[in-house]
Amino acid sequence: MVTKIRAQLEETLSAIVVQSVDSNLVSIYDPSKEPALVFFRRGIPILYHGEINDDEILDFFNDNLEPAVKELSDDNFEHLTQASSGATTGDWFIFFSSAECTVCQRLYAVWESVGGKLKRKLNIARMNSLESGISTATRLGVLEAPAFIFLRQGKMYKYSAKQYSPEAFVQFAEKGYTQSHPQPVPAIPSAVNEFLGPLQSYFAAENITSLATLSIFALVALLFVGKKVAKIFSSEPAKTKNKSK
């Protein structure tokens, strides 16, 4: 397949074309079938999906010389997506990943392929659910990676299938989401809730007593310690005075 269009790929993409046979790259970039074509742009891979047709392959890669997937973080999520106000910036399909997730790393080329296919219809994005996007992941109920959430007009639709092919993701974003249960996008948490949220999730996961009970206990303990400290400091002048005599 590559041999037939090698010259065209090298000429139009200014790319070095390499054919790999029986390579472990198949497992790294997780193509759903072989043969597979992966195009690296500044180190970012995109997996071709479509018919094995010279013109279609050239058109797809030429149309995706630049990465299509947007990078989101807690700092820019609400500003870019407008999720709480009804998504005035369009629909968003977000891939929540983490550095520790092997499956996530194998899906980078696949997700770029989804972005290349849908970039004129909606926004395709990626977030790190354990680092720069941890608050947003908690807010949207993302408990593990990989996770995929489609945002549309103030509602969110979770992709729960285990089919991680470009075709499956594209089908879900175009019409498959209508078959899943929509949930309202949670409001932006206050500073207090944002701080207590992860703690509450941890306590619930560990079957620890309610956060309210623990908070009351902690407050009582803090007051007790505070009184002790205040008593010690209040007695210092008296001790000093006695020593001077």
CA distance linking residue 169 with residue 35, whole number of Å: 20
Residue at token pair 């870019």: 80
- DSSP, res 146: S
> What 3-state class would DSSP assign to 138?
helix
> What 3-state class would DSSP assign to 95?
strand
Q: Per residue of the chain (245 residues), give pLDDT as tens.
A: 566 778 888 888 888 888 777 777 777 776 666 678 899 988 899 999 888 888 899 999 999 999 999 999 999 999 999 988 765 789 999 999 999 999 999 999 999 999 999 999 999 999 999 999 999 999 999 999 999 999 999 999 999 999 999 999 999 999 999 999 999 999 887 654 454 445 544 444 455 545 555 565 456 456 555 555 555 556 554 444 444 44
Contact status, residue 93 vs residue 114, Cβ threshold 8 Å: yes
- CA nearest 153: which of 204, 89, 209? 89
